[in-house]
Amino acid sequence: MKRILPLITLMALSVLSCVPSRMHNELKAKKEACDQENEALKASNLQLTTRQAELSAMLDDLKSRLAALQADTAVRGEEFRSLKANYDRLNTTYNALLKDGPTAAANAEATRQLIRDLQKTQEALQKKEDELGAKAKMLKLKEDSLSLLGSDLSATNRRLAELEQILASKDSAANALKNAVSAALLGYRDKGLSVEMKNGKVYVMMEERLLFATGSTVVDPKGVEALRDLGKVLEKNADISILIEGHTDNVPMHGSGEIKDNWDLSVMRATSVVKILMSNSKISAARLTAAGRGEYMPVDKSNTVEGRRKNRRIEVILTPKLDEILKLLETH
């Protein structure tokens, strides 16, 4: 009996310990089922919320369409009533014309005359429209022509600006050359030499008394010295063309040797000056030109002793090369 009692007690404790474990498992299973159901409810709620929003949007759209249909119906109803009223007026006018038998012909003739007037007016309008169309085409041609002229004028203005710039540069170079020549020949100013600038060219004028004996073509030593000083300046300005002109007075020469007249004297004196410049400097012969003018380009026409003295001279004419201007003109 004593052995059975502890056994019963042990069994009872075992049974009591199994009950709470089974209940725990059941509660856990129920909780998991609740959690799953809760998640399902949440998903369903989300779907319902989304669907509600969609339905709400659809409802708003339907309301908007309904309002538009109502407004359109009202407009179309008004148009229908207007058309119905217009039809009624036309019908009334038609019936009145049917009843107006005696004046129907007159009305018909008036209608035909009105139609003829309308046709004439239409023809006149068409003619005016055709004239306006032709004038519009002419105006377009004039506008195109003016546009082309404007383009040409702009191009011409650009070329003129370029030419003015080049000429200004040439004038500046010529003026600088004049100053350099004047400075180099300053010591000969009281011996019949002058330097001036005309038309973009530098003129170095040497009277006979500085270079030659009367009737001679051989340059005096003092003249050679002056030409040597001039040559030093000219050899530094390679873009300058050099023209040597011989001039005489109007007293005729009647020689029997090489010099037969003033033409021969003027040409031979110019040639002598060219040869001295070439032998006393590094000036290229291609830059030099000798010319005789005889008595036909006097600087003093008084025909006095002093006037004739001035006319017997050598002119060294220095001209800046116009290559840039010629290229510009050829380009355009």
- Reading the chain (332 residues) residue by residue, the pLDDT tens digits are 545 555 555 555 554 454 456 666 766 776 676 667 666 666 666 776 787 777 678 777 767 776 776 676 676 667 656 756 765 665 666 566 556 655 656 677 777 787 787 787 778 878 878 888 888 888 888 888 888 888 878 887 887 787 777 777 777 888 888 999 999 999 998 899 999 999 889 999 999 999 999 999 999 999 999 999 999 999 999 889 999 999 999 999 877 788 999 999 999 999 999 999 999 999 999 999 999 999 999 999 999 999 999 999 999 999 987 665 556 556 65
Distance CA 151, CA 143 (A): 12
Q: What contacts 291, CB < 8 A, 6 or more positions away?
A: 243, 244, 245, 246, 267, 270
Question: At CA 177, angle to CA 172 and CA 182, rounded to 5?
Answer: 130
Bridge partners of 206?
A: 193, 314
Structural domain contains residue 45 = no
Residue numbers of the domain that contains 257: 170-331
Q: Residue 38's pLDDT is what?
A: 62
| Contact yes or no for 237/179 (Cβ under 8 A) | no
Q: What is the greatest pairwise CA distance in the chain?
A: 192
Neighbours of 211 (CB within 10 A): 28
Distance CA 316, CA 266 (A): 13
| Contact yes or no for 217/267 (Cβ under 8 A) | no
Structural domain contains residue 226 = yes
Bridge partners of 194?
A: 205
Q: Residue 19's pLDDT is what?
A: 47
Structural domain contains residue 82 = no
Q: What is the CA radius of gyration of the chain?
A: 60
Distance CA 212, CA 248 (A): 12
| Contact yes or no for 178/202 (Cβ under 8 A) | yes
Structural domain contains residue 265 = yes
Structural domain contains residue 103 = no
Distance CA 18, CA 136 (A): 112
Token reading at 8: 């019963």
CATH code: domain of residue 176: 3.30.1330.60
CA distances for 222 relative to 23, 188, 318, angstroms: 147, 10, 22
* Amino acid identity, position 246: G
Which backbone phi and psi does 244 adopt, to 5 degrees? -105, 115
Neighbours of 170 (CB within 10 A): 19
Structural domain contains residue 197 = yes
Q: Residue 16's pLDDT is what?
A: 46
Whose tokens are 């669907």? That residue is: 51
Q: Residue 15's pLDDT is what?
A: 46
Structural domain contains residue 224 = yes
pTM, full prediction: 0.53
Structural domain contains residue 286 = yes
Residue of 229, 226, 268, 223 whose CA lies nearest to 245: 268
Strands 201-207 vs 240-247: parallel, antiparallel or unpaired: unpaired
Task: Tell me which long-range contacts 202-206 makes (C-beta under 8 A, separation of at least 24).
Answer: 202/174, 202/177, 202/178, 202/317, 202/318, 203/315, 203/316, 203/317, 203/318, 204/230, 204/315, 204/316, 204/317, 204/318, 205/299, 205/313, 205/314, 205/315, 205/316, 206/313, 206/314, 206/315, 206/316
Distance CA 209, CA 194 (A): 13
Report how many domains make up the chain: 1
